[in-house]
Amino acid sequence: MRTHMSTEERLYVWLKADTEALQRLLPDGWVPQPATGFLQDANLVIVLIEGIAASDTNGQPLPARDRFAVVAVPAKNEQEGLTAFVIIDGLAAPPASAPGAYGVYKPARAAVERRSSNQGDVPASVEERWNIASDAGDHIQVQIAYERGVGVRKHIEPRVYSALKPTFYRIYKVDQVDDLVHTTHPNGPKARALEFSVVGGRLSELQVSGERIVGIVSVPSYYREIFLPE
């Protein structure tokens, strides 16, 4: 059953966390499934989301003011043989958007700044600042400056599960554009400037820091239809 559609801009911060610590946060039967390629060994992702537009099941426009910081583990269910994202934590603004469909988001306040400049035939220069914090003391801050690369258009249909409610999941049918803007891989792009800090929540428990960053992917175009299983 389709619930609604949304259009967003996103920034994915991929990190390498301690595998045993991640395992303790996953439901029974799930194990971390690290990324490969330019994101080699990344096993945790912070998805920063800015809502642009939304509509209901009948295509009628809805307000799209939500901003999220979603903390998820790419994981595999060894019993069922499927891979998915398991959401373990998150922040949602405005506060009324918490705890969200997955039941784990804390009410928060968020500020997003984005600036892009382009002259001549050189790549666009982009700066992004994300600042999202809760009254409970959680705080995620990312500042990055990079050159826009060659975007890769993808259609994916991931399942997304809740660590709090292990039997609950949603199916996304997504069309998006990925732009890898920073990676520690020797042959990948490097950001011109990067600052990253986290306080509180699961990320502090996992001792996540800027040194744990494996790669950052900008998603300037993201459209999804959201379905609940029949």
Rounded CA separation 192/126 (Å): 10
Which of the residue ranges 111-125, 144-158, 172-186 would you say has the lowest mean pLDDT?
111-125
Q: What percent of the chain has pLDDT over 90?
A: 87
Q: Per-residue pLDDT tens for 83-116? A: 999 999 999 999 999 999 999 999 999 999 999 9
Distances from the Cα of 78 to the Cα of 19, 23, 29, 35, 41, angstroms: 16, 13, 6, 17, 19
Domain membership flag for residue 62: yes
The pLDDT of residue 161 is above 90: yes
Q: Per-residue pLDDT tens for 200-216? A: 999 999 999 989 999 99
At 2, the pLDDT band (50, 70, 90 cuts) reads: confident
Rounded CA separation 96/108 (Å): 9
User: What CATH number is associated with residue 36?
Assistant: 2.40.400.10
The pLDDT of residue 57 is above 90: no
The continuous run of DSSP H or E covering 112 comes out as: strand 105-117
Domain membership flag for residue 140: no
Domain membership flag for residue 160: yes
Domain membership flag for residue 82: yes
pLDDT of residue 62: 84
Distances from the Cα of 87 to the Cα of 67, 74, 103, angstroms: 16, 9, 9
Domain membership flag for residue 135: no
* Helices and strands (H and E) in the chain: how many: 2, 14
The pLDDT of residue 184 is above 80: yes
The pLDDT of residue 230 is above 80: no
pLDDT of residue 59: 83
Which pTM value belongs to this model? 0.96
Domain membership flag for residue 183: yes
Containing structural domain, residue 89: 2-107+150-189+201-227
Taking residues 68-74, report their average pLDDT.
98
- For 49, counting Cβ atoms within 10 Å of its Cβ (0-12 exposed, 13-18 middle, 19+ buried), the class is buried
The pLDDT of residue 1 is above 80: no
Domain membership flag for residue 144: no
pLDDT of residue 143: 98
Domain membership flag for residue 83: yes
At 198, the pLDDT band (50, 70, 90 cuts) reads: very high
Structure tokens at 16: 């390498």
| Number of domains composing the chain | 1
